[in-house]
Amino acid sequence: MDSLGHVNLDQIAEHRKLTRRAAKGLSWAGTTLLARTLLNVLVTAVLARLLSPREYGIVGAALIIVAIGSNIANLGMSQVLVQRADIEERHTGTIVSLSLTIALILGLLQWIFAEQIANFLHVPELVLVSRILAVIMVANAFNLTAEAILSRHLKFKISSIARLVAWIASNVGLAIPLAYFGFSYWALVVAYMAEAFILAGIYFFMARDYLVGPRFDMQSYRDIRSQSLGYSLAGVSSFVAKYIDNIIVARLIGTSELGIYSRAFYLIAMPANLFGDLNKSVVFPLLSKVHHDKARLRSAQLKGYALTAALALPTSAFLCCFAKELVLTVLGQNWIGAVAPMVAFSAVIYFRVGYKVCGSVTLATGRSYRTALMQFIYMALVTASAFFAAPHGLNAVAFSVSGAIATSFFLYAAVSCRMTGLSVLDFALVHVPPVAFAAVVFATGSAIKALLAGSPDYLVLATGLLVIAALSVVTLYLRASLLFGKYGAEVLQTLTSKNAKWVRFA
């Protein structure tokens, strides 16, 4: 009995320690991601007035190839570094060696076939741009592996600061000045290259105590081969699903339309990526630590849905309501065509983020092939919806793809809930408070727009933002569970500073 009690005390102590590290990790990651999101709005507003939709479309087409190549180069091995319990230095060295080698080969292939890629996408400028961007393939592979190593050791602070510094240096320090001096789309090309190499330099210096040099070992590769292949299939399917609609728009509609489409998606991706990056850099590594305990995993899943729904659904309602004002204020009159796509993408922010919560559950439990299957279904739905909607124009593609995203979420939620034993009723109930609050946000926003009809767009947007923010603060003061629900309020209480005594959690 004494031994059993000692084990239970150790488990409780370990759980509390993990919870504290989770709170600290979420705090650091959330703070830096929020800072980056706010800065991103300002940078986007400046660049949208210096660059045209076509210039954005050219670079956007090139980045599709770079992103898919970087993902293939990793072969899902970064997820193995985070999830697998028995990783040794020989495994890490093998993963580093393979990632860098494959990235180098893919970079060379991208250089060689740049002309064919440009012809396929009907973007002549892509020949030189894609060859230049092929250089960053190795840097991206190194960064992905380094970030996985840091996540395994729960060193969220290092990776959060590194990403923020690299982004500020490249976008604020390079992209804006170069665009101002007339370097056209090359301003974005140089910025993307600089960000990759600056981040690699920071990781190399700050994470040197955790990094392992490249050294290939065949037995180590055999140990991780099956699991990494499943993660790789999931990753490739996910990346293709993320960019296939952009490829279809570029090829079947046009480069300028791709610029509008990608900017609308980019504006919405800011809050979505804010929640999604928290999931990737903090939630997935922590779930991996408790995947053997089904009860704790189910509880974490409920908290994940509650927290993301409370953050994403009101945000979605606000953006749907003020889409026109946001586009005209941030991007300018030349981007008015982005309003309808922005409404479509805003409506499914939670489904994009909630999908990642589902993915964290399957990935954390090591079920990489099930994850790959769901990602393949997601890819197929997005591809079909974009392809058949393309003849009807840009707006049709946006709404059709958004429908595919929502459908994919509900399918994946059903699979992940079955894995953890989460009932349909519990899944539905955890969403009730955020849905109700989102409805209040949309109604309030609509009333503000009606009252301020004819006023400048920036004034309507600013008023809406202030009123909705005040409404949110009042709700938290009255009772946080009105917005976050029971499980979300528990997470919020863990993450909230002791100084925030004004928040009532129950």
- Whether the per-residue pLDDT at 226 is higher than 80: the answer is no
Q: For residue range 103-162, what is the model confidence (pLDDT) as tens digits?
A: 888 889 889 998 998 888 888 888 898 888 888 888 888 888 888 777 776 676 777 788
Question: For the stretch 270-298, what's the b/e string if a residue is b when 16 or more beta carbons lie within 10 angstroms of its beta carbon?
Answer: bbbbbbbbbbbbbbbbbbbbbbeeeebbb
Q: For residue range 478-504, what is the model confidence (pLDDT) as tens digits?
A: 777 777 777 667 666 665 655 555 556
Question: Which pLDDT band holds residue 7 (cuts at 50, 70, 90)?
Answer: very low
pLDDT given for residue 9 in this prediction: 45
Question: Which pLDDT band holds residue 210 (cuts at 50, 70, 90)?
Answer: confident
Higher pLDDT, 318 or 375: 318
pLDDT given for residue 465 in this prediction: 93
**Nearest-CA neighbor of 207 among 166, 252, 156?**
156
- Whether the per-residue pLDDT at 276 is higher than 60: the answer is no
- CA–CA distances in Å: residue 289 to residues 14, 282, 392, 418: 11, 11, 47, 20
- For 3-7, 185-189, 260-264, 356-360, which range has the lowest pLDDT when averaged over its residues? 3-7
- CA–CA distances in Å: residue 256 to residues 123, 263, 337: 11, 11, 11
pLDDT given for residue 298 in this prediction: 79
Question: Which pLDDT band holds residue 1 (cuts at 50, 70, 90)?
Answer: very low
Residue ranges of alpha helices (H) inside 253-322 are: 255-278, 284-289, 294-321
Q: For residue range 25-45, what is the model confidence (pLDDT) as tens digits?
A: 555 555 666 677 778 778 888
- Whether the per-residue pLDDT at 255 is higher than 90: the answer is no
Q: For residue range 67-117, what is the model confidence (pLDDT) as tens digits?
A: 777 666 665 566 666 666 667 777 777 778 888 888 888 889 889 998 998
Counting residues of the chain whose pLDDT is more than 70, the rounded percentage is: 75
Q: For residue range 420-431, what is the model confidence (pLDDT) as tens digits?
A: 888 889 899 889
Distance of CA 482 to the CA centre of its chain: 27
Q: Counting Cβ atoms within 10 Å, is residue 81 exposed (0-12), middle (13-18) or buried (19+)? A: buried
Model pTM above 0.85: no
- CA–CA distances in Å: residue 470 to residues 316, 428, 487: 17, 28, 23
Would you say 60 and 262 are in contact if contact means Cβ atoms under 8 Å apart? yes
- For 48-52, 252-256, 278-282, 488-492, which range has the lowest pLDDT when averaged over its residues? 278-282
Question: Which pLDDT band holds residue 164 (cuts at 50, 70, 90)?
Answer: confident
pLDDT given for residue 273 in this prediction: 63
**Nearest-CA neighbor of 329 among 40, 51, 49, 37?**
49
Q: Which residue ranges make up each domain of the chain?
A: 2-495
Q: How far apart are CA 236 and CA 233, in angstroms?
A: 5
- Whether the per-residue pLDDT at 322 is higher than 90: the answer is yes
What's the full length of the chain, in residues? Answer: 506
pLDDT given for residue 121 in this prediction: 81
- Whether the per-residue pLDDT at 12 is higher than 50: the answer is no
Higher pLDDT, 350 or 366: 350
Question: For the stretch 211-246, what's the b/e string if a residue is b when 16 or more beta carbons lie within 10 angstroms of its beta carbon?
Answer: bbebeeeeebbebbeebbbbbbbbbbbbbbbbbbbb
